[in-house]
Amino acid sequence: MDTREKDIEKLKDYKYGFSTDIENIRAPKGLNEDVIKFISNIKKEPKWMLDFRLKAFERFKQLKEPNWQKPKYPKINYQDLYYYSAPKSMQDKPKSLDELDPKLLETYKKLGIPLQEQARLNGIAVDAVFDSVSVATTFKDELTKQGIIFCSMSEAIQKHPDLVKKYLGTVIPTTDHFFATLNSAVFTDGSFVYIPEGIKCPMELSTYFRINASETGQFERTLIIADKGSYVSYLEGCTAPMRDENQLHAANVELIALDDAEIKYSTVQNWYPGDENGKGGIYNFVTKRGLCKGKNSKISWTQVETGSAITWKYPSCILKGDNSIGEFYSIAITNNHQKADTGTKMIHLGKNTKSKIISKGISAGFSDMTYRGLVDINSKAKNSSNYTQCDSLLMGNKCGAHTVPYIKNKNFDSNIAHEATTSKISEEQLHYCQQRGLNPEEAVGLIVNGFCKEVLQQLPMEFAVEAQKLVGISLEGSVG
């Protein structure tokens, strides 16, 4: 058995499907002002933060859940969820990793996340979020030396209120859509990154999200600010235990790039997708939005979406600064009864702005996959250009692949080009690979990896390897 087969054997069932027995503190069930006050209180937040939350909640009460998306799901009872859950041992925040609950460390070890400092060799600074709270951030000292702030959102609210106050909600305001507003009201933790002027962040920053408790929604908020001339590459990974119920994950991610700054945001999303009959799994309804605020700034999204029962998200770029660049690279794989409705929005406001969208969708089993995207070139965005390519691969005739691009060009100086194809793996390609000694599954893996290559090569090294494996594993059992 070669390593790949061993991997597959090991991962036949969802590898991250275990749950950890840790005592939790929870907010009372349900959603109301008191729960929001409870969250704000337990996190010892200043008043302006509570006001921010309450304002969002006021707005939330008037909003209706959207229903235009392709994957339909049973109505979520928002009163039947816990909005705050934290490991009990975290109540008094540990000062260093040594004080962390060993069970937590164990969990992250199982997940392969280097929390211990000896993992220094990996050279990745990690912020780990367990259920609703950030449990540990590594490499702090080294980053601090350069003036880089990388900490949990709660810590940032306490220690850097000016920065948070200045930028929080400027890209995703409290008056946004249903799930984003819900997040604004009840978000519990997340990561905060600030890269000072002219600094090139020396290592990859990474957050690992884990949902553990049942009947909980996970609502994190991530805010990344790249000041003038800085650069940062940020990774995000997610897993959850196997449970029969559906769990809601509604995070908000805000990116802000000032003049000449660049942010690279990569996601490998591997939430529990439910079993092969479509039972259980995470509803991944995430709002991700980047603002290229300054001129010559750049934001690049890369995502590998293999998990979740339903993925419904559109990482977007608002290209406000002149000469700014937005990029979106995506691989979305759905198998069994998974559903995905994902894509991007590129909103061109500034002059000479450029955007590029490469989306690869693969659907197998009974799954349904939709690419939905918007390219909007405003009348003031002179000399802008967009290139979009979205390809879909179908495996079997029980699944679906859909492409819904919206293209709006209001500027005669600008160019938009859009291409999309849908096809299956050709018999010739399969035959060719098999002739050279690969079994059908390996052949499919190879062809699919080739199909995704354009996106995979955008990922940082460490993630690319993992993602490549994930691509093969997600399609396990879909051939034949």
Site of interaction with another protein (CB under 8 A)? 68, 379, 392, 394-424
Which residue is it, tokens 């096809």?
Answer: 423
Residues 269, 283: Cα–Cα separation, whole Å? 12
Cβ nearer to another protein, comparing 257 with 425: 425
Retrieve residue 47's tokens. 């008043």
* Closer of 70 and 140 to another protein (Cβ): 70
Minimal distance, residue 395 CB to another protein, in Å: 6
Q: Which is nearer to another protein, 269 or 411 (CB)?
A: 411
Of 404 and 465, nearer to another protein (C-beta) is 404
Contact 238, 208 (CB under 8 A): yes
Min. distance of Cβ 417 from another protein in angstroms?
Answer: 5
C-alpha to C-alpha distance for 99 and 97, rounded to whole angstroms: 5
| Closest approach of another protein to the CB of residue 422, in Å | 4
In 10 A of CB 282, how many CB atoms? 26
Quick one: 405 or 460, whose CB is closer to another protein?
Answer: 405
And the tokens for 314? 């559109």
Q: Which is nearer to another protein, 163 or 479 (CB)?
A: 479
Residue 28 phi/psi, 5-degree rounding, is -55, 150
Contact (CB, 8 A) for 307 and 280: no
CB of 377: closest distance to another protein in angstroms?
Answer: 9
Name which of 158 and 409 has its Cβ closer to another protein.
409
How far is residue 326 from each of residues 172, 209, 262, 291, measured CA to CA in Å?
A: 17, 25, 10, 9
State in angstroms the smallest separation of the CB of 415 from another protein: 4
Which CB sits closer to another protein, 316 or 384?
384
Residue 172 C-beta: closest distance to another protein, Å: 23
Toward another protein, which CB reaches closer, 282 or 416? 416
Task: Tell me which residue has tokens 């991250």.
Answer: 16
Smallest separation, CB 397 to another protein (Å): 5
Least distance (Å) between residue 424 CB and another protein: 4
Nearer to another protein, 183 or 403 (CB): 403
Query: What Å distances lie between residue 31 and 133, 186, 416, CA to CA?
Result: 18, 9, 44
The least distance separating another protein from the CB of residue 400, rounded to whole angstroms, comes to 4
Minimum distance from residue 452 beta carbon to another protein (Å): 18
Encoded tokens for 198: 């002219």
